[in-house]
Amino acid sequence: MYLRSSDRPGSSPRLALRTAVLGGFALVLFGILFFRLWDLQVLSGDEYLAEAKNNRTREFKVIAPRGDILDRAGNVLVDNRTSLALQLNTQKLPADPAEERDVLRRLGELTEMSLRKVRRTIRESEEVAAGAPVTLRKDVGYELVYYLEENQRDFPGVSVQRVFVRAYPEGTRAAHVVGSVGEIDEEGLKEERYASLEPGDEVGKGGVEEAYDRYLRGKPGLTKIQVNALGQPTPGGQLVDQPPVPGDNLKLTIDPDVQAAGEGALSSFGLPGAFVTMDVRNGQILGMGSNPTFDPTALTQPMTQAQVNQLYRDPVLAPMTNRATESYYPVGSTFKAITALAALEGGYISLAEVIADDGSIEVGGQPFQNAGGVALGPVDMTSALQKSSDVYFYLLGLEMWKTNQLQEWAAKLGIGRETGLDLPGETEGLVPSRKWRDDLFAEGGTERPWSAGDNIQLAIGQGDLQTNPLQLAIAYAAIANGGTIVTPHVGMEVEDAAGRVLEEFDPKPRGKVKIDPTYRAAVLEGLHQAAQAPEGTSYGVFGGFPVEVAGKTGTAERPGHGDQSWYAVVAPYRDPEIVTIVTVEEGGFGAESAAPAALAILEAYFHKQATEIGAENGGSPG
């Protein structure tokens, strides 16, 4: 029996609806998948292809060697040596804390570091440069390298890299001038001059390493290699090899003989101190040193806490402080040359005027006397400088105390002002004045306002005066050269590896002070007699020196310290070329320590001059 079509069971409307919805949904999914595949294959195909290729490559920055630092004679003060550095990529350490601790412990045993020190090194490094490889130790031996290569799986994230390390053929010579190198810190990365650098890069830290970093640093290279799925280099997989560009060499104005003589003289006393020798005509620093000094080599290695404390936290020895530029001192009687010019130029005294030095004066019930209370009798300007009459200059300070004459001339000559030196860290100092003390008194910072005694003390380089050897050198240079305020500098020229000069440094003077030639001549004559006339305060040191000089001793009182020894000298006297300033903390009278040190420096300078002249003339220096 057959059923008619009208008798067959028909499809349910609900089933038809479900079928339509499912079909539509499938169609939508298919459309999404299709367009996603279209996006991946057609629209973004090149981008993902590039990313896939990048996953098969590794890039390595090749650090450029820094340029050499040379003295003016071409002797190398700083260059580079290669070193093997043990580095750790902390991102590849085991995630399990116990396993991580075990790896770090074994690393510490290999590098002779405690687990605590390893963790501290990692923490300090990541604070400075998060994500960069942590250098645990430099100068590792080849035995350790071979061991790590054979046991790489036991030390994940550990690698040995060949790096450049600063070397110092002359040891500690000119350490404060040279400075050091270290990893850039977080604050440094924010500076515009370091915009191209990354965490872990090294920059200059202090000295010319910092001041001339952009010349010395060079440009890093790039090596790109192809690796397999395990991250291992494939045979012939080097894709890019862009060599680094070494930094340029920096030649300094430092004279090797002057530098050696100054450092040797300072160290012989075993006391803190400093010296500066400068060309009075152009501001070139021929020698600059500070004692105690430091060994820059120590800064190329991880330091113990004891070493850190000794270098950076010892407030007494302070070996990292350049006392020639970063100190605060009264300068004693070396300041009298400045007082003399201020009084003469202001009309407070004449060259012919004679003052009776009875050994002391009394002002407001307070006595002011010569050293030891010695009476020097009648003195004029020249003899007052020769014999270092305190009474003479006390009276000049008293004459000028209601004005700002002395302070203005000190500032004109560079005292209490930054010098423009091309080294970081110099201090400004202080020339005390009525306004300064009165303001301080109003703020409750001192027990009294400005008085005549303050100006009297300033006239002999005492009281609240705070300056340093470099500022005093600027002032004496201005007197010697007729009033030009030179800009001191240690950078002379930048050279390429072949010795070709790329840039020279000859900064312009910072100003010109109008000095009456007659007054200048009288002051220099007084300083000349102080050094080389029988009654001069340093005649016992310079009396027999074959070159005419103009020099002044200074004995400065510092609360809580013994007398500080000072000496300031320009030479030759009639046509000055150089100025030398020496100070020795707790060194006693100026003629006891500072003057003999200055003599050693001048002997080195003029012996070299005589040798060079003799060589030019084809004969011996005699």
Tens digits of per-residue pLDDT, 198-243?
A: 877 889 999 999 999 999 999 988 777 666 655 555 666 556 678 8
Residue 319: which of 295, 338, 350 has the closest Cα? 295
**CATH topology assigned to domain 58-252:** Penicillin-binding protein 2a (Domain 2) (3.90.1310)
Do strands 484-485 and 360-363 pair parallel, antiparallel, or not at all (unpaired)? unpaired
Q: Would you list the DSSP string of 343-366? A: HHHTTSS-TT--EEE-SEEEETTE
pLDDT at 131 over 70: no
The mean pLDDT value for 249-255 works out to: 98
The mean pLDDT value for 290-309 works out to: 82
Helix (H) or strand (E) run with residue 234 in it: strand 233-242
Helices (H) and strands (E) in the chain, counts: 21, 23
Instruction: Answer with the residue of higher pLDDT: 82 or 460.
Output: 460
pLDDT at 314 over 90: no
pLDDT at 601 over 80: yes
Name residue 307's beta-bridge partners.
none
Kindly give the residue spans of alpha helices, DSSP state H, lying in 463-538.
469-481, 517-532
pLDDT at 194 over 60: yes
The mean pLDDT value for 258-278 works out to: 97
Instruction: Answer with the residue of higher pLDDT: 261 or 310.
Output: 261
pLDDT tens per residue, range 69-81: 999 999 999 999 9
Contact assessment for residue 356 and residue 418, using Cβ atoms and an 8 Å cutoff: no
- CA dist 128 to 122, 123, 131, 199, 450, Å? 10, 9, 10, 7, 48
Confidence of residue 132 (pLDDT cuts 50, 70, 90): low
The mean pLDDT value for 254-264 works out to: 98
**CATH topology assigned to domain 256-615:** Beta-lactamase (3.40.710)
Instruction: Give me the pLDDT at residue 138, please.
Output: 77
The mean pLDDT value for 158-185 works out to: 91
pLDDT tens per residue, range 485-534: 999 999 999 999 889 999 999 999 999 999 999 999 999 999 999 999 99
Burial group, residue 227, by CB count within 10 angstroms (0-12, 13-18, 19+): middle
User: Token pair for residue 64?
Assistant: 């450029």
Instruction: Give me the pLDDT at residue 199, please.
Output: 76
Confidence of residue 147 (pLDDT cuts 50, 70, 90): confident
Q: How far is CA 521 from the centre of its chain?
A: 37
Residue 390: which of 352, 416, 354, 358 has the closest Cα? 358
Residue ranges matching CATH 3.90.1310.10 in the chain: 58-252
Instruction: Give me the pLDDT at residue 49, please.
Output: 53
pLDDT at 36 over 80: no
Confidence of residue 130 (pLDDT cuts 50, 70, 90): low
The mean pLDDT value for 572-598 works out to: 97
Indicate the range of 96-105, 500-509, 546-555 predicted with least confidence: 96-105
Instruction: Give me the pLDDT at residue 569, please.
Output: 98
Dihedral of CA atoms 258, 469, 317, 72 in degrees, nearest 10, equals: -30
Task: Note the pTM of the prediction, 2 decimals.
Answer: 0.84
Instruction: Give me the pLDDT at residue 418, please.
Output: 94
User: Token pair for residue 10?
Assistant: 């028909």
Rg of the chain's alpha carbons, rounded to an integer?
A: 36
Residue ranges matching CATH 3.40.710.10 in the chain: 256-615
Q: How far apart are CA 187 and CA 176, in angstroms?
A: 23
Instruction: Give me the pLDDT at residue 548, please.
Output: 97
Confidence of residue 620 (pLDDT cuts 50, 70, 90): very low
Most confident of 28-37, 302-311, 464-473: 464-473
Instruction: Give me the pLDDT at residue 312, please.
Output: 78
Contact assessment for residue 501 and residue 493, using Cβ atoms and an 8 Å cutoff: yes
Instruction: Give me the pLDDT at residue 622, please.
Output: 36
The mean pLDDT value for 131-145 works out to: 77
Instruction: Give me the pLDDT at residue 503, please.
Output: 97
pLDDT at 363 over 90: yes
Instruction: Give me the pLDDT at residue 273, please.
Output: 98
Q: How far apart are CA 614 and CA 608, in angstroms?
A: 10
Task: Count the Cβ atoms, other than its own, within 10 Å of residue 546.
Answer: 7
List of residues 6+ apart from 506 with CB closer than 8 A = 282
pLDDT at 50 over 80: no
Residue with tokens 């080849």: 142
Instruction: Give me the pLDDT at residue 56, please.
Output: 64
Confidence of residue 5 (pLDDT cuts 50, 70, 90): very low
Q: Quick check: bond before 572 cis, omega within 30?
A: yes
- With a pLDDT cut of 70, the percent of the chain lying above it is 87
Confidence of residue 2 (pLDDT cuts 50, 70, 90): very low
Instruction: Give me the pLDDT at residue 41, please.
Output: 65
Kindly give the residue spans of alpha helices, DSSP state H, lying in 236-335.
256-269, 305-308
Residue 166: which of 362, 297, 32 has the closest Cα? 297
- With a pLDDT cut of 90, the percent of the chain lying above it is 62
Instruction: Give me the pLDDT at residue 225, please.
Output: 65
Query: Mean pLDDT of all residues in the chain?
Result: 88
